Amino acid sequence: MNDPRHYLDNEKMSRLQITVVAITIMLNAIDGFDVLSISFAAPGIANEWGIPRASLGVVMAMELIGMAIGSFFLGGVADKFGRRPTVLGCLITMSAGMFLVTTATSAIQLSVWRIMVGLGIGGILSCVNAVVAEFSNIQRRGMCISLMVIGYPLGGTFGGMIASHLLQAHDWRAIFYFGAAVTGILVPVVYFLVPESVHWLVNKRPKGALEKINAGLARMKFPAIEKLPERQETERKKPLSSIFSRSIFPVTLILTMAYFLHITTFYFILKWSPKVVADMGFSPALAGGVLVWASMGGALGGAAFGWLTTRISLKKLTVLIMVLTSVFVSVFGRTGADLSQIKLLAAFAGFFANAGISGLYSLLAVAFPTDVRATGTGFVIGVGRAGAVLSPILAGVFLQFGAKLPSVALAMSLGSLLAALLIFFPKTLSANHEAAGKTV
């Protein structure tokens, strides 16, 4: 056996492989907290600077613009230069951006630093899916991807608990100090514990590839190889345009549009629920607690999705979950000023919304071959993230011009419903993702 990928794909996962998957969960958790940090801080920022709702919606969208740019461009960087250096660079960028947020004295300065944070988050999002797929074996790959996705709401859950506690004794800047410190801690963790992907090394063959592969195999307790395996035609260097080839383009288009629409609904809950609850007369700390419930629901939703994929078709499960997301987001907007009821509905909305994200990420993991996996994932997330940018702005404009919360929530819930219809009808999605799964 001269192909090292055989060991990673077919043998029992080593301790290092499990460690790498655990680290991707932490990376996604940091992303989850960093994205939601502006939501926790929004009531305090609005009170201190007197920002109207429409303008606040724009500020809350700034890191999402950075995420879209980072996902689109840095996915290609990860495919060209490697997963490991891309993740390290993104972590450093995120930590610096979070710290610089605390120095902002205006909405414009705050927006600039949030875009910087978003660049790092977007780059990591385009990488972690590829990292999980390439370090997990075939048997456990679906579950590992679901666990990675759970990291996002876990970061929102535990980060939100800490943020709510910090807001009781400090102003909104304390949230970003905390985020910068925790993000910075992950830099040495990744540097020392995460080797470069063997799949990437085999496909790209940089200088010293054989030595790096054998070093990684040794750390995973697998036998060394004597020479690099023969490169198959399907593993030749491919341009970005390959994700628009006749065989892959239908999947690229459908998943990009579905991601755009579902994320529009998802980010309405993530970005506006603390401000909506605060406007009902609750304190910023209690309002932030509602987002914690939404994140807890999201974590449970991701876990449930991973378990259900072994029993229900991935496509059917994702469609059903997106329909239920639409229902519960709409119902969330119709609740009164009852904090217990608000928390429960937020948890259900988060449960189904994040399970839908798990479905999309699971489809992405098998839609693209190794040499364009981060590029394809980055494209879908990068372009699809326009929905995340649009979501808080659109909701802010609706609210600014007098639309009532039930109407706004109903309008924002339509994104997930339309995404479900997109995934449900085309037969090409099932055919393509099943075929693509063989190339993972």
With CA atoms as reference, report the closest residue to 92 among 66, 71, 123. Answer: 123
**Cβ neighbours of residue 70 under 8 Å, at least 6 residues apart?**
90, 118, 119, 120, 121, 122, 123, 125, 126, 382
Per-residue confidence band for 434, with pLDDT thresholds at 50, 70 and 90: very low
How many CB atoms neighbour CB 181 within 10 A?
12
Mean confidence (pLDDT) of the chain: 83
Please give the full DSSP string across 127-144, using - where no structure is assigned: HHHHHHHHHS-TTTHHHH
With CA atoms as reference, report the closest residue to 64 among 128, 119, 134. Answer: 119
pLDDT per position as a tens digit, 146-156 = 788 888 878 87
pLDDT per position as a tens digit, 155-209 = 877 877 788 788 888 888 999 999 999 999 999 999 999 999 998 999 889 999 9
Per-residue confidence band for 283, with pLDDT thresholds at 50, 70 and 90: confident
| pLDDT at 310 > cutoff 80 | no
Token couple for 319: 């469609």
With CA atoms as reference, report the closest residue to 283 among 59, 44, 11, 7. Answer: 44
Are the CB atoms for 361 and 129 separated by under 8 Å?
A: yes
| C-alpha torsion angle, residues 365, 257, 399, 44 (rounded to 10) | 30
**pLDDT for residue 436:** 39
**Pairwise CA distance, residues 200 & 68, whole Å:** 24
Q: Which tops the pLDDT comparison, 373 or 166?
A: 166
Helices (H), 82-172: 83-101, 107-135, 141-169
Chain CA centroid to CA 433, Å: 20
Per-residue confidence band for 439, with pLDDT thresholds at 50, 70 and 90: very low
Domains in the chain, number: 1
| pLDDT at 234 > cutoff 60 | no
**Pairwise CA distance, residues 200 & 5, whole Å:** 10
| Residues listed for the chain | 440
Token couple for 163: 């943020």
CATH number at 131 reads 1.20.1250.20
The DSSP letter of residue 196 is P
**pLDDT for residue 216:** 92
Domain limits for position 160: 5-230+239-439
**Cβ neighbours of residue 169 under 8 Å, at least 6 residues apart?**
none
**Cβ neighbours of residue 192 under 8 Å, at least 6 residues apart?**
none
With CA atoms as reference, report the closest residue to 380 among 130, 198, 150. Answer: 130
**pLDDT for residue 255:** 86
Rounded mean pLDDT, 414-427: 87
Burial 217-245 (b: 16+ CB within 10 A, else e): beebebeebeeeeeeeeebeebeeebbee
**pLDDT for residue 435:** 40
Report field, pTM of the whole predicted structure over 0.85 = no
Please give the full DSSP string across 327-383, using - where no structure is assigned: HHHHHHTT--S-HHHHHHHHHHHHHHHHHHHHHHHHHHHHHS-GGGHHHHHHHHHHH
**pLDDT for residue 89:** 96
The DSSP letter of residue 425 is S
**pLDDT for residue 294:** 84
**pLDDT for residue 248:** 72
pLDDT per position as a tens digit, 129-149 = 889 989 998 878 777 887 888
Rounded to 5°, angle at Cα 10 from 6 and 11: 100
